[in-house]
Each structure stands twice: as structure tokens, then as C-alpha cells.
Amino acid sequence: MRIGYLDCFSGISGDMCLGALVDAGVPLQSIEATLATLPLSGWSLRAERVMRAGIAATRVHVELDQSQHKPHRGLGDVLGIIESGSLPPEVAERSCAVFRNLAEAEAAIHGTQPDEVHFHEVGAVDAICDIVGTVAGLAELRLDTLRHSTVMLGGGRVKAAHGTLPVPAPATARLLQGRPTEGGPVDVELATPTGAALLKTLAEPAAQWPAMTPEKVAYGAGGRDLEHHPNVLRLAVGTTCAQGSESDYVWVLETNLDDMTGEEIGYCTEKLLEADALDVFSTPVQMKKNRPGVQLTVLCRPEDLRTLEGLLWRETSTLGVRRALWQRTKLVREFETVQTPWGPVRVKIARLGGQVIRGKPEFEDCRRLAQRHGIPLREVYRAAVRSSSG
């Protein structure tokens, strides 16, 4: 499986993404040709090699015709430009998704609707080039998955259309909810809303450099040349070391409880699962003062972290929640439907490297048939196993 890893030790922005992709071998001319299909004029791309605190990197400039009027564009205007081009369908879909995420973040901050947002900073020609060019460049790399590190945000203040704002800018902070971030190491803006939207839409967080065999390690330069700090985005491209399995990243939430009834914990568990928790389980623990208690553990996707942590605050008596980002490896899974003498049953098939490792009939399907026909559950289960490829 081909994997890309964005090491955001100096933040991320649209132009840094373009630079890293070109440095990784994506031809600048190919990105230009894709952008040229858009009904957009007054721009050109230029790449140059630069040094950033001792690291050689590629800087991509979106050069604009200053004589042309640059209107503030709403979400519908931007989506219309993207959809009117001759982009590959996947590139168009993902580019639109990036702008929708930006619009939703801005709308939430300003108390309006996404369709009413006008992109002051990110709606200009250069931002469209950054976003569509990045999506097109990633498509050229033919990655199966894209991961990213903890995002360094920078610090201080940044000037924006609405005035001077703290770093991270409000839109950046909202877009990176559920993602690992850290302030510093310098007092300038390192992660921009455009970069944050690209991460939210296209990449998943990684607790550390993923298990992979790197083929290329590339560097995209940011606009600032910072003293003693390499202002670059590192992109590693390679193949995963594990063969035939899948991996992703999940948040693990834990809290210890010693003053809730079993009914209350059961109710909370149901609410967490209804809110798309991947798994919820409880473990008996011995707490301080020798009180028996329960450790409640929740596994969730990065995008669901805020919702599920909020449920823990509201539905339990906890005063603190521990959280950690974990990488997990999974067998490739698929469902097949088999026929039994009493009706169809879905069977979950697990594969490793294309080989079937095991198959397990779905309990609810087996229970439904056993109850309907008045037969033992195990008979339905065994019949489903005999009929499956697992």
C-alpha cells in the first residue's frame, strides 16, 4: 500500500503543500495543466530551490496579474469555478470538499451559514490554485492513504480581514479540532486555514512516523525564512511495511468512575455507541481508598473526538478524561451473504494478503432466523459457517 506522510513540524500551508509535491517529483507543468482547465485567469506558477535554516526545499509561487480585479468569492462561486473545469472527477470532488470545510469553519465562527461566507483570504485566485493544485498533485502520487503528524501552530498574532487575530487563527483552530496540535516553536503563524482544511479533508492523524519504507522524502518551503528554524513541510512517500492489512488511527478515551450505578453506565454506553463510537467497554478497577470502580474506555475516529468526549462530560460523573491517539492494524474485512436452510445470513470475512483468515456469521441475522423458525441458534450459526468462504 502506498502511503504519504506529512510531517508538519513547521505547520502547513497551501504553498508548502505545492512545494513538497513538486519536490517529491510531481511535475509543475502537470499541476499547471490541470489548473488551466479551470475558468480562472491571471495566474501562473513558478518553482525555485531555496534554503530554509540549512534545509534545501522547493518553493512554489502562485504569481498573479496585479492588474486584474480580485473579487471576494462566496462558496458557490468557488465551487462553480471548480466544477466548470475539466478536472478528473476525484480531484474536483476533493477540491470542493476542502472549500466546503473552510466555509463551514468560517460560518461557525461568524455565526452565519456556509453559503453566506465570503472567502477574503482563501477565496482568491492563489488559494484556488493552492488547493486544486495540491489535490491534483496528490492524485499524481497515487497514494492509498495520507497521514499527518502533530501540527505545530506557531504563536503570536496574525493580520486578517477581520482584524488582528491570535495564532492559531479561529478557522485554523476549528478545522484542526480532533487533530494533534501544539503551539510554537516560533511566534509566527505556521499553520494557515488553507493548510488546516487540506489536512482535515485529505489526511488522517498519525501518532508518529508510520511504519513504511520511504521512497522519497521531500521538502516544501514556506514563505518566511526563519532564523534557526527550518520553515518547511516534509513529505515522505513510500510503502507500508505490513502486507495485506490495513491501519488507521483512533482516539482512546478513558475515565475512572466510582460513584455511578450500573444502569447509568449502561445508558452512557448506549449513547456513546449511538454517537458512532467504534467501541465502548468497561473494566473493573480498584481505586483510591480501596473503592471498587469502573474504567470506561471509548474508541473513536478523530472527527468524532469532540462529540464523544462531550458525551462523557454530560453523561458521567467524571471530572477528567484521559485521551491518547493510537495506531491500529486491521485485517481487511468484507461481508458476504450466504444461504442457510432457513434464510440468508451475512458473514464477515477477514483477509490477510488476499487469503481468508476467518469468517464469522452476524449474530443478529442468526438470532432472527433461530427465533422465527424455533430452532437452536447454534444450528443456524453452523450452517452459515459451512456455506461461507471463511
Who contacts 90 (Cβ-Cβ below 8 Å, separation ≥6)?
Answer: 139
308 lies in a domain?
yes
Query: Do residues 279 and 173 share a domain?
Result: no
298 lies in a domain?
yes
Torsion of CA 190, 192, 197, 199, to 10 degrees: -10
Q: Which phi and psi angles does 148 have, rounded to 5°?
A: -145, 155
Which whole number is the average pLDDT over 221-239? 95
Query: Do residues 116 and 197 share a domain?
Result: yes
Strands 245-257 and 292-300, sheet pairing: antiparallel
Could you give the number of structural domains in the chain? 3
Query: Do residues 68 and 210 share a domain?
Result: yes
| Domain termination residue (choose one: 320, 353, 372) | 320
Least confident of 200-204, 235-239, 326-330, 353-357: 353-357
Query: Do residues 341 and 311 share a domain?
Result: no
Residue 243, pLDDT > 70, answer no
Query: Do residues 307 and 352 share a domain?
Result: no
H-assigned helices in 148-276: 170-175, 193-202, 262-274
CATH assignment at residue 371: 3.10.20.300
Query: Do residues 56 and 141 share a domain?
Result: yes
Strands 181-182 and 151-152, sheet pairing: parallel
Who contacts 287 (Cβ-Cβ below 8 Å, separation ≥6)?
Answer: 256, 258, 293
The residue type of 234 is R
| Domain termination residue (choose one: 292, 320, 348) | 320
Who contacts 390 (Cβ-Cβ below 8 Å, separation ≥6)?
Answer: 347, 349, 350, 356, 357, 358, 359, 360
Cβ pair 139, 5 in contact under 8 A: no
Query: Do residues 79 and 164 share a domain?
Result: yes
Q: What is the pLDDT of residues 75-96, one digit of tens each?
A: 898 999 999 999 999 999 999 9
CA distance 204 to 302: 8
Picking from 312, 306, 372, the residue whose alpha carbon sits closest to that of residue 344 is 372
pLDDT of 248 reads 79
Three-class SS of residue 128?
helix
Query: Do residues 252 and 336 share a domain?
Result: no
**Cα–chain center distance at 313:** 24
pLDDT of 122 reads 47
Supply 63's cell numbers. Answer: 504569481
Q: In terms of pTM, does the model score above 0.85?
A: no
Query: Do residues 236 and 260 share a domain?
Result: no
Cβ pair 152, 176 in contact under 8 A: no
Picking from 16, 265, 20, the residue whose alpha carbon sits closest to that of residue 141 is 20
Query: Do residues 261 and 294 share a domain?
Result: yes
Three-class SS of residue 356?
strand
325 lies in a domain?
no
Q: What is the pLDDT of residues 256-267, one digit of tens each?
A: 999 999 999 999
Domain enclosing residue 339, as ranges: 330-387
Helix (H) or strand (E) holding 220: strand 212-221
Query: Do residues 98 and 200 share a domain?
Result: yes
Query: Do residues 308 and 351 share a domain?
Result: no
